[in-house]
Each structure stands twice: as structure tokens, then as C-alpha cells.
Amino acid sequence: MKTKALTYDFVLSLPPFVFKVKNNIKFVFENACAMYGEACSEQLAGDEFIDFTLSINDGGGLRKIFKPQARFLCDEKEPFKPLTHSQAYAMLEWGMNWTVAAHEFSYVIIHSAVLEKDGKAILFPAPPGSGKSTLTAFLANNGWRLMSDEMALITPNSKTVTPFVRPICLKNASIPLAKQWFPDSVFSSIAKDTHKGDVIHMAPNKSAMLGKQQTAEIVGVVFPNYDTTKSLEIYQLNMAESYMQLVDNAFNFTAIGEPAFSTITRIIEQVRSFEIFYNDLKDVEAFLSEDVID
Amino acid sequence: MPTQYRIKQRVLRHPFSDGSGTAFYDPTTNVISSINVNIDDLNDILGGHKSLTDEESDVLSQLLSQQLIED
């Protein structure tokens, strides 16, 4: 008699998307529950439909015993090579990012953190290593509402950004710092030795989850650069400079085409853009509150 | 007679209001570009009525290599 393998399937209701996750790795389910709270459930709510069906699994077979892996699938396709088993939860989070960036065309998507205060949103587009996520974690726990750590979903031909509330991905040296600064926050298990180094996810806080359907208007774009040698240096970018930096961080510009071009040029025309270098997060917060959203 | 150029009809362009430059997007080739020249100066460069500085020649070369303009 064949025994049915244990599964820990779940649904993540993360406006504006709903993910169905087929899963046979227990700690992935436990981490998802810890990160998303009520937004993680075993069944679809009555009025929802699934946008994306994902799978995270250990692959099975002999490898499961000798060298267990984690495999990610989106609609039965496997876009990435397997990772080691202990990185399965991080792989799911990255896979969700990839899924939205690769398939969602009703928004212009910028690789950017988004934080909001008083109904005003600031985009923080940045490549890995810029300190974006550490800054995001700090702001999200100091009076700002986390709308996204990873992607700005912008309604075409507008300045309206829609939240996509997800955990904040922290890496290496920022992990002990975040645990020290925010002892009440919820953290995932650590994924060690990933291509980004050691990685942990920090759950969005209550204000972020409460505001998960509350859009905001973009009032500024800030390109952050953490630099231990520099106290706060601020450079206002001209529009041509800002355009190329935003385009470099756009996930789906060419897939969307003309609406992406008009959306990005409109934002640049209507809000100020800055590049900042900093080594003190409090200085950045003061600059944002006093000079960007005011 | 110096060569005169024009921006290809299909190419989207946006001259930034701060005069810092002009953005381009060609939806056929998916070329995304930006030059640090405002639209008035660009028209002068494309018009072939003036001798170009090194920087202006570079702009012309960039737009030609990206196939955003034609003669």
C-alpha cells in the first residue's frame, strides 16, 4: 500500500495577489505562518481566487535522504536550479518576487522598497548591498508604514503605489543588528550560505498588515547608499539622471512598453529624486520626514 | 551639405522640464535611452546646421548606434 506523502499546503492572501503554495516541507509552512499571520491559511477564503500556484518541495527520491534539496515551481515550471534544503523558505520568498515580476503587467513594477507616512510614499530603488532593507526595517519600526521591501507596484500613468506587504529580507551583518534593534519583531529561520550570504526574513509589523490594501501617492524617490565612511550626504538628481536609474530598476518596462515610459517620466516630472550616502539611519529618517514628505 | 537627421517616428521621446535631457523609448526594439541634451539643442544637433562639439558628436553617435534617429 502506498502511503500519501505529508503535505503542508497553504494560501497566502497578500493583496493585490493570492498565492496557493503546494508544499511538503514543514518548516516552510511554519515560517510562512510566522511571517504572515492571518494572511496565511490552509484554505482559500470564499471570495478569493488564486493568482499564482506555486510549489516548494524537497524533490523526493534518494536525494531527500542523502543531500536534501529545495525546489521551487511556478505553475508547474521550474525557473531556478534547486537550492539546499535549509534555504527552502528564502527560496519561496524569492520565488514569489520572481513570479510577480515576471507575470504581472497591470502595474509598472520597480525594484524598490516603498514606505509611507501621512499618505505620502517614498520609493527606495536600489541594487543589493545598498543597505535598502536595513533602512526599510528601521523606517518601518520608526513611524513609517511598510508598503513593500522589494517592489513598487505603480498604477500606469499615475503616481499611485499599491502595497505588496511582505517580510523584509535582511542579510549578513544586518541580521544581529535587526534582532537587537527590534527584539519584539518576528523573524524567520536563517537561510545560511545563500548566494546573498546568510539571510533572514523579518515579518511585517501590525501597521503594515493593517494597511495592506491602502494605496499612497509617491512624493519622492530616494536612491540609498550605505557607506560607513560618510555621514549624511544628499544629492538632488536631475530628471535625466533619475530616469536612467529608475529604468535600471524597472522589472517589466519592456514588457509593458509605452505605459511604463509615460508612467516613469510622469513620476520624474512630478516628484524630486535624491541620491543619499549615509552611515546613520536616524539622519536619513530626519531628512525624509523634514525635506521629502513635507 | 551636412547630413540632417530626425528622430524615428515610432520612437517615444520625453524632454525633461528641468532641461537636463531627453528620454527615449523605441517600442519596436525595446531600446531605452537618455541623453543629457534638451530638445532644442537636440534639434540643432540633428539639423546639421552647426559644427558639433565633441560632446554633441557623441550624442549623435549614441542615437545613431541605438537606431533612434534616421537621415
Note the pLDDT tens digit of each residue in B4-55. 999 999 999 999 999 999 999 999 999 999 999 988 899 999 998 788 899 9
Q: How many CA atoms lie within 13 A of A144 on its CB side?
A: 26
Reported ipTM exceeds the 0.95 cut:
no
**Residue A124: which residues within 8 A CB-CB, separation 6 or more?**
A112, A113, A114, A115, A132, A135, A136, A222, A223, A224
Domain boundaries, chain B: 6-70
CA-based nearest residue in chain A for residue B31:
A254
Any CB–CB contact under 8 A between B43 and chain A?
no
Residue A81 has pLDDT above 70, yes or no: yes
Whole-number pLDDT of residue A48: 82
Residue in B17, B30, B34 nearest the CB of A243: B34
C-alpha cell at B13: 521621446
Determine whether the interchain pair A240/B23 forms a contact, defined as Cβ–Cβ distance below 8 Å. Answer: yes
Whole-number pLDDT of residue A128: 80
Q: Which domains does chain A have, with CATH numbers?
A: 10-103 (no CATH), 108-166+204-292 (3.90.228.20)
Q: What is the pTM of this model?
A: 0.93
Give the tens place of pLDDT for each residue, A200-227: 999 999 999 999 999 999 999 999 999 9
Whole-number pLDDT of residue A156: 98
Determine whether the interchain pair A261/B36 forms a contact, defined as Cβ–Cβ distance below 8 Å. Answer: no
Of A91, A92, A90, A113, the residue nearest A249 (C-alpha): A113
